[in-house]
C-alpha cells in the first residue's frame, strides 16, 4: 500500500497516480493514499507542486491564429500535387499501357550505345549483302527455297563436270603412259639390235694393233695424202712420214 512500502516504490506509484490526480480522476482510497504519501515525501510533494504549476502555465496558453492565407496555400499546394499526380499517371489505353510496359522491359537495350552498335551491325550486314548481290526480296521464304534449290543444282552440275574432267584427264594420262611404254620398248629393241650388230662386227674384225696417238694442229699433225693412182701415204708439214696402212 502507498505509504507503507519502501520509499522508492512509493514514489514510483505516486508518479503513476500523479496524472490521474491532476486530471481529477483519482478518487477514494487511492486519492487518500496519494495525499498521504505527498504529505510525507518532500521530493514527491515538490514534484506535485511543480507539475501543478506547469499545468497552470500551460493552461494560460491559447491557440494561436493561423495565417489567413494558410488554407488557400494548402489547397493550392495540394491541387498542385493532384495535378502533378494526374500528369504523372495520365489515363492510358491498353495499347499505350503495352507500349509503356515494353519500354520498361527494353529500357536497358534502348540506350544510345546499343543504338550505335545496332546501327553499325545493320550497316555492315547491308554492305555484305550488297557485295554478295543479295536483295531484300530474295530473303522471302519462297525465294530462299528457290535460291537453295538452284544453288544445289549448280553445285551438282559443277560436281558432275568436275568428275567428267577428271575422267578425261585420267584417260589422257593412261594413253600417255601407254605410248611412253611402247616408245620405251621400241628403244630397247633398237638398242638390243645395235648391240647385237656391234658384237657381230667385233667378232669379225682384228683388234687394232696401233698405239693410241694424239694429233694436234701443230707441225706434228699427220695427214693422209695420195695422188691419183698412187698409194696413200702419211705426211706431216715437215714431209713424208710413212706409208699409210691399208685400213685407213
Contacting positions for another protein (CB under 8 A): 15-16, 18-19, 47, 50-51, 53-55, 57-64, 66-67, 70-71, 73-75, 77-79, 81-82
| β-bridge mates for residue 13, sequence order | none
Nearer to another protein, 66 or 218 (CB): 66
Nearer to another protein, 43 or 175 (CB): 43
Is-contact 17 47, C-beta < 8 A? no
As measured in angstroms, the least distance from the Cβ of 83 to another protein is 12
Nearer to another protein, 11 or 234 (CB): 11
Of the CA atoms within 13 Å of residue 23, those in its CB half-sphere come to 7
Nearer to another protein, 13 or 33 (CB): 13
| β-bridge mates for residue 27, sequence order | none
As measured in angstroms, the least distance from the Cβ of 16 to another protein is 7
Q: What sections of the chain are H helices per DSSP?
A: 7-23, 28-40, 42-60, 70-88, 94-105, 112-131, 141-204
Q: How far is CA 87 from CA 82, 83, 92, 98, in A?
A: 8, 6, 12, 19
As measured in angstroms, the least distance from the Cβ of 22 to another protein is 8
**Spatial distance between the Cα atoms of 232 and 225, rounded to a whole number of angstroms:** 5
Taking each helix axis from N to C end, the angle separating 7-23 and 42-60, rounded to the nearest 10 degrees, works out to: 20
As measured in angstroms, the least distance from the Cβ of 57 to another protein is 5
Place of cell 710413212: 242
As measured in angstroms, the least distance from the Cβ of 116 to another protein is 41
Nearer to another protein, 2 or 18 (CB): 18
Nearer to another protein, 20 or 138 (CB): 20
Residues 6+ apart with CB under 8 A from 3: 10, 33, 36, 37, 40
Amino acid at each position: 500500500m502507498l505509504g507503507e512500502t519502501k520509499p522508492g516504490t512509493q514514489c514510483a506509484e505516486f508518479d503513476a497516480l500523479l496524472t490521474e490526480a491532476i486530471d481529477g480522476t483519482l478518487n477514494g482510497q487511492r486519492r487518500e493514499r496519494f495525499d498521504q504519501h505527498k504529505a510525507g515525501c518532500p521530493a514527491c510533494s515538490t514534484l506535485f507542486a511543480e507539475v501543478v504549476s506547469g499545468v497552470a502555465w500551460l493552461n494560460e496558453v491559447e491557440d494561436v491564429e493561423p495565417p489567413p492565407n494558410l488554407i488557400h496555400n494548402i489547397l493550392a499546394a495540394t491541387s498542385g500535387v493532384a495535378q502533378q499526380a494526374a500528369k504523372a499517371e495520365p489515363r492510358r489505353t491498353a495499347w499505350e499501357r503495352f507500349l509503356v510496359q515494353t519500354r520498361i522491359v527494353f529500357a536497358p537495350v534502348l540506350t544510345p550505345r546499343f543504338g550505335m552498335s545496332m546501327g553499325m551491325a545493320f550497316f555492315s550486314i547491308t554492305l555484305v549483302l550488297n557485295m554478295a548481290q543479295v536483295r531484300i526480296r530474295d530473303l522471302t521464304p519462297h525465294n530462299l527455297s528457290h535460291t537453295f534449290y538452284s544453288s544445289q543444282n549448280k553445285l551438282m552440275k559443277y560436281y558432275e563436270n568436275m568428275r567428267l574432267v577428271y575422267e578425261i584427264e585420267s584417260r589422257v594420262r593412261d594413253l600417255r603412259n601407254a605410248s611412253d611404254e611402247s616408245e620405251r620398248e621400241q628403244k630397247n629393241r633398237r638398242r638390243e639390235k645395235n648391240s647385237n650388230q656391234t658384237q657381230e662386227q667385233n667378232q669379225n674384225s682384228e683388234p687394232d694393233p696401233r698405239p693410241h696417238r694424239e694429233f694436234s694442229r701443230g707441225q706434228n699433225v699427220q695427214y693422209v695424202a695420195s695422188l691419183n693412182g698412187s698409194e696413200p701415204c702419211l705426211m706431216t708439214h715437215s714431209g713424208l712420214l710413212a706409208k699409210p696402212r691399208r685400213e685407213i
